Structure formats: C-alpha cells, structure tokens
Structure 1
Amino acid sequence: MNKKYISLAVNGGIGFGSWLKPKQLIALGDYLEEDAEIELTTLQQLIVKIPENELENAKEKFDEVGLHYYKVGNYVKSLRTCNFCKGEVEEGLPVAKELNKRIAGQKVPFTLRPAYTGCPIGCGEPLVNDIGVLKKKEHYQLYIGGQAKGYNAKVGELFADELQPEELYNLVDKILDVYRENGGKREKFSRFVNRFGIENIKKEVM
C-alpha cells in the first residue's frame, strides 16, 4: 500500500531575519524520510512532505520547537518580510506578526504572496508582490497588484496611505474578500486587479 504524504510550508515565523534553530531542524528530520527532498522557496519557506499518519504528531512537535507551518496550494502565503534591522518597535515587527496571523492560510482563487517591509528601503520587496505593506514613520502604506516575474512584471499600485494597524488589517481582509468573491478560478491576484480595476476594488472595500 502506497504511503500518502501531506505537503507543508514551514519556516521559523516572523522575526529578525529568516532563521532556523538546530532543535527545529532536528524536529523536521524526525518526520522526514532519509532520501526526502526539501524545497527552499523564495518566500522564506521550506516545503516538506510529511506522512499523513504522522501529520498531527508532527504539528504538535513543530509547535513545541516554534516552527510555523502553512498549507500548500491556493492559499495566502506567509508574509515575506525584511530583516528588521533597526529593532522590533521601530520596524513594526508586532504588526507584521499580527498581519501574518490573520491572513496566512486563507483560501483564495490562486496562490497569493503578501510582503512587508519596515522602512522605505523595501528589503521585503512589498512593491513587487501581490499585497505589499510598507511602514513609513508611524503609519503604513498598502500596495496591491505587484508582480515580480515574467514579461508583465510590474510595481504594485498604492491603494491606501497613512494607515493605523487596525485599519491595515481590516483593509487587507476586505481586499481578500473581494478577491474571493470576484476572482476567477486560478486567476492570479495581479491579473484580477488589472481586470476588476483598482477603483472598483476601492468601491467594494471602502
């Protein structure tokens, strides 16, 4: 009988850079077969395949060692971030953590990549991801519709400026709702933004 595997996207969570601890790597090794292949993605994630009959035990162990895990497929990916070089308060790390907690794993028509950066240098590349957040002094800017790859690569458009954290969370939630309700099957978010239109999205969420 063939063994069934479940794919998970795994990382060390939102923090000061993309780090994994030895105990986290050991925990991963406990649930991976000797010849298993691990994919390292551009989204600061490891894609691993866990035997289905060991999945719940693996999740419990991952929780114990601080590994974060997400569904693989047409979901909102975990937040791509910068390295928070100036510290937690100044760079807005708590806001990044909360935003990731709220949106990562939500079902959407097609894989959606959000990004966050704590200053205008933009190390987290928010302007070329589907949804991008940039901290500017004490407020937040929200960009949508960016695309990093292909002939149609482009910078996202500024959707809202001078947002407080709660305004940011609520606005992103509403944008995802509009995408779910109006996006076509397997329609990329950037294509949806082009087709549906920025102004129509604003009408829906405002």
Structure 2
Amino acid sequence: MENVVKKIKIAINGGIDFGAKLSAKQLITISKYMNEDEQLELTTFQQLYIEIPEDKKEEIIEEFQSVGLACYPVGNYVKSLRTCNFCKGEEEEGMPVAKELNRRVAGKPVPFTLKVAYTGCPVGCGEPLLSDIGVMKMKDHYNLYIGGKAKGKDAEVGSLFKENLTPEELYETVEKILAVYSKQGKKRESFHKFLKRFGKEQLIG
C-alpha cells in the first residue's frame, strides 16, 4: 500500500508591492511543489492557494519566504491587504503604511474570513469601500471605512468610520476593531453581519 502524503493548503503572494506581481524565481520555486496536472487557485484577495506536504510545511514556507513570497493561513483569518498598484511611487502612495498594516493584521484568526483593502489615493483602485475594512490615503492622512460587502443582492458600500488618521492611529484603530470582532463575533458570522448586529458605534467605544 502506498504511503499517502497528507497535504495542507496555504495562501501565498508576492507581498505588498507595486501591484500584484510574481517574479520568475518565485514562479519556479512554486512550481517545484506542483505536479504537471495541478492548478493554482487565484483568489479575489490577490492570493494563490497551493497545497504542500504537511510534514514539510515549515521548510517549504521558509523557502518561499527566501524568494520574497509571503505566506498566510487559509480559512477564517484576516486576509493580506488587497492593494492598488501604487502608481505614483512608494512614499507618496503610502506603501510603507500598507506594509506595516499588513504585517500587523494579516493572518489573525477571526470568526469569518475578513478582507482588508488599501488604496493610495481617492481613485480607490484597491476597492476599499467594497471590503470589510478599507483604507484610503488622503494626502498625509488616512480615512478608514468599514462594512463594505461586494457580493450578493444585499451588496453595500462601506461607510466612513474614522478620517484624517495618522499611521499609528490607523494601526491602533484597525487592531481594536479586529479585537472586538474576534471576541464578540459569532462563529462564521461575517463582519458585515456582525456590524449590523453589534453596531458600528460600539466597536471601539
């Protein structure tokens, strides 16, 4: 009887950068862990899902990270930031803030999959108003939107929750929101439904 290799699914992407891109080296590294008939699933979160042997999880993740791939858990977690293409340059479009926000929140366990989007200007290419939590850079400050829902007949644009935040205020506010949702949200209760039940005004007091 052949030994069956137990596999687990992880999410990967090229990290927070100028658009959703992968290098040739990254693609070659990913392909090492795929059979010819296997396929990669591209999600709306700008992530790729790949199955890897569970017993080699740590070493494979380390190899992925060595070529610049970011790795995240799959399931009911905060997804990595969905971003715009940062068309005017790193500092002007606030990429350092996007990277730090992603570092602080991506992969945190929550009652149900939660999408955070970030855009570097009011054009909103990262679709922040259609995400559970959305961030829009406004000159030197940041506006925070919550409660967006992109799918279903009850689709809804997110509403402005806080405006003119500094980077530290932004990080702190988003982390507080996630802490309340993690504690008060019901199992598999989407963030959109949670806000309807719990009330936006109750989020951070």
Identify the TM-score tier after normalising by the shorter chain: over 0.9
Q: Structure 2 regions of 5+ residues with no counterpart?
A: none
Alignment counterpart, residue 99 of structure 1, candidates 98, 101, 106: 101
1:36 deviates by 1.9
Aligned sequence identity (%): 61
Report the counterpart of residue 121 of structure 2 in structure 1.
119
Write the letter of the residue equivalent to 2:99: K
**Residue of structure 2 equivalent to 1:150:** 152
Mapped pair 1:194 → 2:196: yes
Say whether residues 1:63 and 2:65 are aligned partners. Answer: yes
Superposed CA offset, 1:6-46 (max 9, x none): 11111000010111000001111112223222101111111
Task: Give the Cα–Cα distance (whole angstroms) in 2 for the partners of residues 73 and 42 of structure 1.
Answer: 14
Are 1:83 and 2:111 matched, yes or no? no
Partner of 1:19: 21
Alignment of 1:15-54 (within 5 A): 15-54=17-56
1:44 counterpart letter in structure 2: Q
- TM-score, structure 2 normalization: 0.97
CA contact (8 A) 1:109 1:186 kept: yes
Deviations 1:138-193 (A, max 9, x none): 10000111000101101111110010000000000000011011111100001101
Q: Which aligned pairs between 1:125-136 and structure 2 lie closer than 5 A?
A: 125-136=127-138
CA distance in 2, matches of 1:48, 1:169: 30
The structural deviation recorded for 1:198 is 1.1
One-letter code aligned to 1:161? E
| Counterpart residue identity of residue 59, structure 2 | N
* CA distance, structure 2, for counterparts of residue 95 and residue 186 of structure 1: 29
Aligned residues: 203
> How many Å separate the matches in 1 of 2:188 and 2:65?
31
TM-score under structure 1 length normalisation: 0.96
Residue of structure 1 aligned with 2:169, choices 167, 192, 200: 167
Q: Deviations over 1:82-115 (max 9, x none)?
A: 0000111110000000000000000000000000
- Give the residue type in structure 2 aligned to 1:164: T
Q: Which runs of 5+ in 1 are unaligned?
A: none
Note if contact 1:31-1:54 (Cα within 8 Å) is conserved in structure 2.
no
Q: Give 1:64 shift.
A: 1.1
> Secondary structure of the equivalent of 2:34?
coil
- Contact 1:129/1:145 (<8 A) preserved: yes
Partners of 1:33 and 1:71 in 2: how far apart?
Answer: 22
